[in-house]
A = this chain, B = another copy of it.
Amino acid sequence: MSSSVRSIRVACCQLHPILGDGRANAERTRDAIKGAVEAGARLIVLPELATTGYVFDSEDQARTAAQESEGALQTWAEEAARGDALVVGGFAELDAAGDLYNAAAVVDASGTLAIYRKTHLWGTERELFTAGEAIPPVVDTRVGPIGVGVCYDMFFPELTRGLALRGAEIIVMPTNAPRGSNGAGVRDNIGVSIARAAAHVNRVFVAVCDRWGSERGVEWVGRSLIADPEGDLIAEPPGDREQVLFADCELALARNKRWAGTSNDAFDDRRPEHYELD
């Protein structure tokens, strides 16, 4: 990362992917990146499974969709190159062994910097995808160290804590948050509280990029947001439509773990011997 970068513009592109239409989604994500780059964004976040859609009715369909969208990351790199930008977006990854992952790629002009495979799989994802086996990455980039998780991962505060402890200045979360399909457990705004809490207690920026639209009876909440290290929303959950959120983020602020105006430090004050987590 460059110490000369004071503030970067972060964009969350709350798109509506089309289930199983790899070509349409490649175009949609490319257009969104293009627009965000033109608006000055240096870090552009796309939803979970932005290249394929989500509600597959079979593993075969998911596999075919993954194959048909394989070129998307290359188009992301090409668009990123126009603005020296980073793109973090969700996609269905089919690896050489034929295993399918719910993954997120970190892409810049040079190509793919990192791929993260979702650690915590939700619902029927477990029938389609293999869970990731690597520690969620903190990717060193020209704009700063970026921590990556996907959707349900955020519901494990240990994961966001780990990313922050390993130096992430911003945690990005490609997300597909379903409305109502899981009953009371996924309310419209509990994700907002969880994201704000993760930002505040870790003193990091958090960017959640949700999707929009519906698929096979599943409606998506549209609760994208960007929070600063205080946990304050600097880009609000738009809800109820496709749109792009922007916020200018001075990522280096996240290196200071003191709560503003105090001598208390969110990391130094930890007492791991008192938590008994395992």
User: Shortest Cβ distance from A217 into chain B, in angstroms?
Assistant: 14
| Range of interface residues on A (Cβ < 8 Å) | 35 or more
User: For chain A, what secondary structure do more than half of its interface residues adopt (helix, strand, loop), or is it mixed?
Assistant: loop
| Interface flag for A3 (CB, 8 Å) | no
Binds B, one of A84-92, A95-103, A196-204: A196-204
Is there contact, CB below 8 Å, between B159 and A275? yes
Contact of A275 among B132, B158, B183, B201 (CB under 8 A): B158
Is there contact, CB below 8 Å, between A119 and B271? yes
User: Can you tell how many copies of this chain the complex includes?
Assistant: 2
Is there contact, CB below 8 Å, between B272 and A185? no
Whole-angstrom CA separation of A271 from B264 in the bound complex? 30
User: Shortest Cβ distance from A166 into chain B, in angstroms?
Assistant: 7
Is there contact, CB below 8 Å, between B165 and A277? yes
- Contact surface of A with B, Cβ cutoff 8 Å: 119-120, 122-123, 131-132, 134-136, 152, 155-159, 161-162, 165-166, 181-187, 190, 192-194, 196-198, 200-201, 230-232, 259-264, 266, 269-272, 274-278
